[in-house]
Amino acid sequence: MINLETPRKHRMVIDQAHQVAMNMLRPISRKYDRAEHAYPKELDMLAAMIDGLSESGTAEGAGAAGASQPTPAAKEPHDPTKVRNGANLASIMSVAEMCWGDTGLLLSMPRQGLGNAAIAAVANDDQKARFKNVWASMAITEPSMGSDSAALTTTAVKDGDHYVINGEKIFVTSGERSDAVVVWASLDRSLGRAAIKSFVVEKGTPGMKVERLEHKLGIRASDTAVITFTDCRVPAENLLGSPEIDVKAGFGGAMATFDNTRPLVAAMAIGCARASLDLTRDLLEQAGVVIDYDRPAILQSAAAATFLALEADWEGAKLLTMQAAWMADNRKPNSLEASMAKAKAGRVGSAVTLGCVELAGTLGYSESELLEKWSRDSKILDIFEGTQQIQQLIVARRVLGLSSAELK
């Protein structure tokens, strides 16, 4: 039976994440929003602390790298009568708390990149051990592919004990700062989605070049890069998972990464929106607006009623996100729920943060408070890792039992 209350065993690490967000991230939030592309050196100490907690087992798998996609082949047999609250749930809840502090800084955290979640999703045991302490970003999007990840044109051709990668990737989060990039490329474009694999390309590899950094609306503390690969030779053992092309499995291997990362991005939206709600409630109370949870919204002021509606929508997004993570922990297919969580949380994050700007009036629009910044930061969370429209399309396919060819 699923229980979406915060599990007791995760409360300590979640409380620690909140303290870090409040005392370390929030105070430097505006500084690095203004100093775009400047690396937040304060994060080095925080990363070392998280590494120490992970080594000791205290962190309980929290963070992007802690998320995983359990499989029936796991060493310990799964008891369907036993409910697990594992690393996936700990990860999304700790990530939400960190984004309550600052989303851009969370995305800048060493060894907490989306590429780390991709490694956790599809790498074999040997690869997980080799890349354990690597900070990995993820390179999927290309200039001409739009939102269709299967339309990528980057190729990886086998040459002896290496693969030769050619192509261009855009919007690579932490693309300049990370130690390595998880690159999606096709082994054989004629075979379509089934031939798409991911490769860990370490920085300094000849043929890999960071062309430029983007100037952005939000998450300005995080660098976003354009990277080109020109005859870039990558060791064959850096291909994540199996090198075999299984046409029947289709895009399944690649989609396992999204099943992992989409709840994490949903959690980011939840954390950012929660920050806006918390501050807005305080500002409304200072202005004399009373929010009464024991009275119907229709009997309260327009501002209170609007706030209650925003908070209710946020609660729905949070529960969907927790459900997707809980299903992964309990070895249940969660592709539908991961997309539902990402779609709901992405949309709600933007609606809540903008709604809070409106409720706060001039304080919401000025830089005297962080509300305007959070509204800028939240927009990307409705776009990357699959746009709102793509998520709705995936949900429709799952619900109707149709393939990507049948429902476009």
Q: How confident is the model at residue 75 (pLDDT cuts 50, 70, 90)?
A: very low
The mean pLDDT value for 63-80 works out to 50
Number of CB atoms found within 10 A of residue 246's CB: 12
Which two structure tokens, joined as six digits, stand for 196? 């798409």
What confidence tens digit (pLDDT) does each residue in 223-265 have? 999 999 999 999 999 999 889 887 655 555 566 778 888 999 9
Which CATH number does the domain 252-400 belong to among 1.20.140.10, 3.10.20.30, 1.10.1280.10, 3.55.40.20?
1.20.140.10
What confidence tens digit (pLDDT) does each residue in 163-199 have? 999 999 999 999 999 999 999 999 999 988 889 999 9
Q: What is the Cβ-side half-sphere exposure of residue 233, based on CA atoms within 13 angstroms? A: 5
**For residue 71, with 0-12 CB atoms within 10 Å meaning exposed, 13-18 middle and 19 or more buried, which class applies?**
exposed
What confidence tens digit (pLDDT) does each residue in 103-162 have? 999 999 998 888 998 898 889 999 999 998 899 999 999 998 877 777 899 999 999 999
Q: What is the pLDDT of residue 277?
A: 98
User: Distance (Å, rounded) from C-alpha 46 to C-alpha 229?
Assistant: 32
Indicate whether 12 pLDDT > 70: yes
Pairing mode, if any, of strands 208-213 and 196-202? unpaired
User: Distance (Å, rounded) from C-alpha 228 to C-alpha 143?
Assistant: 11
CA dihedral sign, ordered 84, 90, 92, 93: positive
Instruction: Show the beta-strand stretches assigned E in 316-362.
Output: none
Structural contact between residues 51 and 132, judged by C-beta atoms closer than 8 angstroms? no
Q: What is the pLDDT of residue 60?
A: 56
Indicate whether 287 pLDDT > 60: yes
CATH number for the segment(s) 136-238: 2.40.110.10
Indicate whether 17 pLDDT > 50: yes
Indicate whether 337 pLDDT > 70: yes
Q: What is the Cβ-side half-sphere exposure of residue 3, based on CA atoms within 13 angstroms? A: 9
Backbone dihedral angles phi then psi of residue 330, each to the nearest 5 degrees: -100, 20
Q: How confident is the model at residue 72 (pLDDT cuts 50, 70, 90)?
A: very low
Indicate whether 22 pLDDT > 90: yes
Active site residue 385: yes
What confidence tens digit (pLDDT) does each residue in 310-328 have? 999 999 999 999 999 999 9
User: Looking up tokens 């946020």, which residue turns up?
Assistant: 314
User: Distance (Å, rounded) from C-alpha 282 to C-alpha 289?
Assistant: 10
Pairing mode, if any, of strands 155-159 and 162-173? antiparallel
pTM confidence score:
0.91
Pairing mode, if any, of strands 162-173 and 196-202? unpaired
Distant-in-sequence, close-in-space partners of 361: CB < 8 Å, separation ≥ 6: none
Return the domain boundaries, the chain.
8-130, 136-238, 252-400
Which two structure tokens, joined as six digits, stand for 330? 């309990």
Q: How confident is the model at residue 45 (pLDDT cuts 50, 70, 90)?
A: confident
User: Distance (Å, rounded) from C-alpha 390 to C-alpha 392?
Assistant: 5
Catalytic residue among 97, 142, 369, 385: 385
Helices and strands (DSSP H and E) totals, the chain: 13, 7
Indicate whether 368 pLDDT > 50: yes
Number of CB atoms found within 10 A of residue 248's CB: 6
User: Distance (Å, rounded) from C-alpha 124 to C-alpha 25?
Assistant: 34
Distant-in-sequence, close-in-space partners of 109: CB < 8 Å, separation ≥ 6: 43, 46, 47, 50, 63, 98
CATH number for the segment(s) 8-130: 1.10.540
